[in-house]
A and B are shown apart, each in its own frame.
Chain A
Amino acid sequence: MKNEQAEVALPLIRRGRDQNLARLLVMLGVVFALMAVLRPEQFVTPANFGSMMRQFPEYGIMAIGVSLTMITGGIDLGVVGTANLSAILAAKLMFAAVPRGAPPEQALPYLALAVLVALACGLACGAFAGLLISRFEIPAILATLGTQQLYTGIAIGITNGRPQSGLPLLYSKIGNTEFFGLFPLSFLVFLVVAVGIAFLLSSSRFGMYLYMLGTNSKAALYAGLGNTSILIRTYMLSGLLSSVAGLIMMARANSAKAEYGAPYTLQCVLIAVLGGIDPSGGFGKIVGVTLAIFILQFLSSGLNMFNNISNFYRDVIWGGVLILVLVFNRLLSQRAERRAARRGE
């Protein structure tokens, strides 16, 4: 019964999806070609690809978390705060447990413990946001604006706003390992996360519940889905991914800071929307989000190669692209509606 309905609905949805993916692929190709033509000697180099592979995993992983919450019809604006708070807790633990210059075999268990603490912190931060949204029925926007302030505030409070640097050498050594002399560890983590979450969404019961909840939360409730538990788990997952991103940021910068990566919040929303996640919930795929991450990284790295473009133009470009994509998607869906209406007559 369930399968039959899914098959009837599938062709329509699939066509829309494939068009979106095709558009994203074209965009990716255009941005790449543009940068390759304008800055060939800098852009199409192994060094550039190496540095891009080290840059995007941290915000890419957070963007996947934000996408999950947007599929349920919510949003998580607290990802950056969660990432920094988790990283700072891990850093504090490392400072406390690992003496300076300790041999690796002595430091390793504490580093593992610190990583676990960070992940637990991410889960707890997410669970708190999920609880506020599902149990206390605070709109996700306000709840996560609040948690973002709260987590960043706690991070400032426990560090007095100072960066936590001088981590054990072993941590950044592990964090910056390159496999086959090519792929940084963070890139592999991103791959695992992207493939894992894509699989979760497409093939698990939980993934299906997310789409159902995002399409119509009341219908999902009456269909017997435990909305509260699904929402809490979604935000916990987003929190967990944020803490992974926090650990990656800490390895790359070799320090943790309460206000690190502030522009990432907007960037994550932009990536999700660009990648085809509907801000009102119920639609979107991780493949699209991943393509959007690549588009953004190409743009960002490419722009860096123009000395006369100020860094602040990045804000203009991110804001502008976000709005253009929204407008474009809206116009497309309006055209599709009109066509459908005509066919109906």
Chain B
Amino acid sequence: MITARRFFARSEPWVLAAIVILSLLIQARSGQFFTGNNLVDLARAFIVPGLLSIGCMMVIVSGGIDVSFTAVAALAMYITDKILLQSGYEGNVILAYAMSAGFGLLMGALNGFLIAFLRLPTLVVTLGTGSLFTGLMFGAFSASASDVPPAIVAHGKETLFTAVNSDLGLSSNMPSQILILVGMLFLAFLLLRYTMLGRGIYAIGGDEAAAERAGFNVRAIKMFLYCLVGVLAGITGISRISMMAYADPSTFQGMELTVIAAVVLGGTRVTGGLGTLTGTILGIALMMILANSLILIGIPTYWSRAFTGAVIIIGTGVTAHQIASTHRSQRDLKKT
């Protein structure tokens, strides 16, 4: 009985149920949801927000918030792209990933230093650094949509398989970048589940003072966390431009909100200490299905932004309400 109650007090089953109902609804209205090419298209749209959500979720679990990761992703990929283009690089795409991750690491380290060592408030710091990075990209590098080196173009063309929809004569390629997402998810799973560092992220989100007294090095954990977000953002940047086959500096603008909303929707507690990768992935999946099917479920495109806002408010409201009621029921238990 208790286990069932606990199961349904979590967000994941509800998000999963919403996904199933929504997809059945779309299938009933259009008949095109459960087709190979639609599912592959969804998976394709899923890769970039999915990669970004991993770091975002960990930051929220640690009790912070980061709104600069999209600016980091854009600047890291843009500098990498420019350097590789100017040097006429012909080699492997791995170097591009490594460079972009490196630039991401530097930017993440700046966030980490300000947050972990100077203990500045995370929102204000990342608002500031986000503006700084975006301004640098458009000001110092006068960024505009640009070509990408051949290695990245080739990487973008790698496909795992092709799904063909014979009814509509459409076909969609499953990009190889999905493997990067799967790999990163696996590493994040290992980190959060089996390492002291990962447990530390949960611990400082639950109660920072208690975590410090329990022997966690709070500063080091936070520093590591923001560096990790930077590295993931850098990797995401290259994945994105390889799939688009050109480097658009404004491609990430506004995506941070969708990702944060999805993470919170997936049951990550906004005040820290709770959250799962499964929930995050489900949250992103729900957001992507919603965004790709707004017209199918009868919402005109002009209203999509209002819709994102409503989802953020409802999603955070439901989780916040759940926390409040858990507190209340614990208090009631103590009384009896």
Q: Measuring CB to CB, which residues of chain A are less than 8 angstroms from any residue of chain B? A: 75, 132, 136-139, 141-143, 145-154, 156-157, 160-161, 266, 269-270, 273, 279-280, 310-320, 322-323, 326-327, 330-331
Q: Report the minimal beta-carbon distance from B299 to chain A, rounded to whole angstroms.
A: 10
B17 contacts chain A at the CB level, 8 A cutoff:
no
Query: Which B residues are CB-close (under 8 A) to A317?
Result: 135
B274 contacts chain A at the CB level, 8 A cutoff:
no
B255 contacts chain A at the CB level, 8 A cutoff:
no
Q: Report the minimal beta-carbon distance from B80 to chain A, rounded to whole angstroms.
A: 20
Select one of A146, A160, A312 contacting B138, CB under 8 A: A312
Query: Which B residues are CB-close (under 8 A) to A152?
Result: 305-306, 309
A149 to B306, CA, bound (A): 6
**Interface pair B135/A147, CB less than 8 Å apart:** no
**Interface pair B324/A146, CB less than 8 Å apart:** no
Residue of B with least CB distance to A272:
B124
Q: Which of A137, A279, A280 has the most CB of B within 10 A?
A: A137
Q: Report the minimal beta-carbon distance from B219 to chain A, rounded to whole angstroms.
A: 14
Query: Which A residues are CB-close (under 8 A) to B29?
Result: none
Query: Which B residues are CB-close (under 8 A) to A312?
Result: 134-135, 138-139, 142
Q: Report the minimal beta-carbon distance from A62 to chain B, rounded to whole angstroms.
A: 15
- Given A137-B324, A315-B139, A330-B118: A153 and B271 interface contact (C-beta under 8 Å): no
**Interface pair A153/B135, CB less than 8 Å apart:** no
- Given A160-B302, A316-B132, A319-B132: A153 and B308 interface contact (C-beta under 8 Å): yes
Q: Which of B134, B304, B316 has the most CB of A within 10 A?
A: B316
The 8 closest A-B pairs by CB, nearest first: A153-B306, A315-B135, A150-B309, A149-B309, A319-B132, A319-B131, A153-B305, A316-B135
Query: Which A residues are CB-close (under 8 A) to B65?
Result: 141-142
30 of the cross-chain contacts (CB-CB < 8 Å) are A139-B270, A141-B65, A143-B313, A145-B257, A145-B260, A147-B309, A149-B305, A149-B306, A150-B306, A150-B310, A150-B312, A151-B309, A152-B309, A153-B306, A153-B308, A157-B300, A269-B127, A279-B121, A310-B142, A312-B135, A313-B135, A315-B132, A315-B134, A319-B130, A319-B131, A319-B133, A323-B128, A327-B118, A330-B118, A330-B119
Query: Which A residues are CB-close (under 8 A) to B312?
Result: 142, 145-146, 149-150
Query: Which B residues are CB-close (under 8 A) to A137?
Result: 320-321, 323-324
**Interface pair A136/B320, CB less than 8 Å apart:** yes
A248 to B142, CA, bound (A): 32
The interface bits of chain B over 225-262 (1 if a CB of A lies within 8 angstroms of the residue's CB, else 0) are: 00000000000000000000000000000000100110
The interface bits of chain B over 304-336 (1 if a CB of A lies within 8 angstroms of the residue's CB, else 0) are: 111111101100110011011000000000000
B136 contacts chain A at the CB level, 8 A cutoff:
yes
Query: Which B residues are CB-close (under 8 A) to A146?
Result: 261, 309-310, 312-313, 316
Residue of A with least CB distance to B261:
A146
A243 to B65, CA, bound (A): 28
B194 contacts chain A at the CB level, 8 A cutoff:
no
B181 contacts chain A at the CB level, 8 A cutoff:
no
B18 contacts chain A at the CB level, 8 A cutoff:
no
Chain A contact residues: over half helix, strand or loop, or mixed?
helix
Select one of A273, A316, A320 contacting B124, CB under 8 A: A273
B8 contacts chain A at the CB level, 8 A cutoff:
no
Residue of A with least CB distance to B299:
A157
Q: Measuring CB to CB, which residues of chain B are less than 8 angstroms from any residue of chain A? A: 65, 114, 118-121, 123-125, 127-136, 138-140, 142, 257, 260-261, 264, 270-271, 300, 302-310, 312-313, 316-317, 320-321, 323-324
Query: Which A residues are CB-close (under 8 A) to B303?
Result: 153, 156-157
Query: Which B residues are CB-close (under 8 A) to A319?
Result: 127-133, 135
**Interface pair A161/B302, CB less than 8 Å apart:** yes
Q: Report the minimal beta-carbon distance from B318 to chain A, rounded to whole angstroms.
A: 9
Q: Which of B131, B133, B310, B317 has the most CB of A within 10 A?
A: B131
**Interface pair B123/A141, CB less than 8 Å apart:** yes
**Interface pair B317/A136, CB less than 8 Å apart:** yes
**Interface pair B302/A310, CB less than 8 Å apart:** no
Query: Which B residues are CB-close (under 8 A) to A161?
Result: 302
**Interface pair A310/B138, CB less than 8 Å apart:** yes
Select one of B121, B124, B138 contacting A315, CB under 8 A: B138
**Interface pair A280/B129, CB less than 8 Å apart:** no
Residue of A with least CB distance to B60:
A142
Query: Which B residues are CB-close (under 8 A) to A311?
Result: 139
Query: Which A residues are CB-close (under 8 A) to B321?
Result: 136-137
**Interface pair A316/B123, CB less than 8 Å apart:** no
- Given A139-B270, A142-B316, A143-B313: A326 and B120 interface contact (C-beta under 8 Å): yes
Residue of A with least CB distance to B258:
A149
A152 to B306, CA, bound (A): 7
**Interface pair B120/A327, CB less than 8 Å apart:** yes
A153 to B260, CA, bound (A): 17
Query: Which A residues are CB-close (under 8 A) to B304?
Result: 153
Q: Which of A75, A142, A313, A322 has the most CB of B within 10 A?
A: A142
Query: Which B residues are CB-close (under 8 A) to A322?
Result: 124, 127-128, 131
A42 to B320, CA, bound (A): 53
A111 to B305, CA, bound (A): 29
**Interface pair A154/B316, CB less than 8 Å apart:** no
Q: Report the minimal beta-carbon distance from B250 to chain A, rounded to whole angstroms.
A: 12
- Given A279-B124, A330-B119: A316 and B136 interface contact (C-beta under 8 Å): yes
Q: Report the minimal beta-carbon distance from B274 to chain A, rounded to whole angstroms.
A: 14
A95 to B14, CA, bound (A): 45
Q: Report the minimal beta-carbon distance from B267 to chain A, rounded to whole angstroms.
A: 14
